[in-house]
Amino acid sequence: MGQNLLRCAQKINGCEIVAAVERPDFPGLGTQVKDFPAKLTYTSAWPTEAEAVIDFTFHTCVAGNIKNAIANKQAVVLGTTGLSEDAQAIVKGATQQIPIVWAANMSLGVNLLLELVKRASEVLDDSYDIEIVEAHHRLKKDAPSGTALMLAEAAAAGRKVALKDVACYGREGIVGERPRGEIGIHAVRGGAIIGEHTVALIADEECVEISHKANSREAFATGALRAALWLTQRKPGLYTMRDVLGFTDQ
136: annotated active-site residue = yes
∠ Cα 193 194 198 (to 5°): 85
Of residues 243, 248, 246, the one with CA closest to residue 102: 243
Of residues 83, 66, 110, the one with CA closest to residue 236: 66
Of residues 198, 201, 203, the one with CA closest to residue 214: 198
* Strand, coil or helix: 56: coil
The DSSP bridge partners found for residue 237 are 99
212: annotated active-site residue = no
Polymer length in residues for the chain: 250
CB neighbours of residue 184 within 10 Å: 19
Task: List the catalytic residue out of 118, 136, 197, 212.
Answer: 136
Angle, helix 218-231 to helix 108-123, in steps of 10 degrees: 90
- The dihedral region occupied by 99, where left means phi > 0, alpha psi between -120 and 50, and beta the remainder, is beta
Question: Which strand (E) or helix (H) includes residue 213?
Answer: strand 207-213
Of residues 45, 29, 50, 37, the one with CA closest to residue 11: 37
Task: List the catalytic residue out of 34, 73, 140, 141.
Answer: 140
How distant, in Å, are the alpha carbons of 29, 38, 119 from that of 35? 16, 9, 43
**Catalytic (active-site) positions:** 136, 140
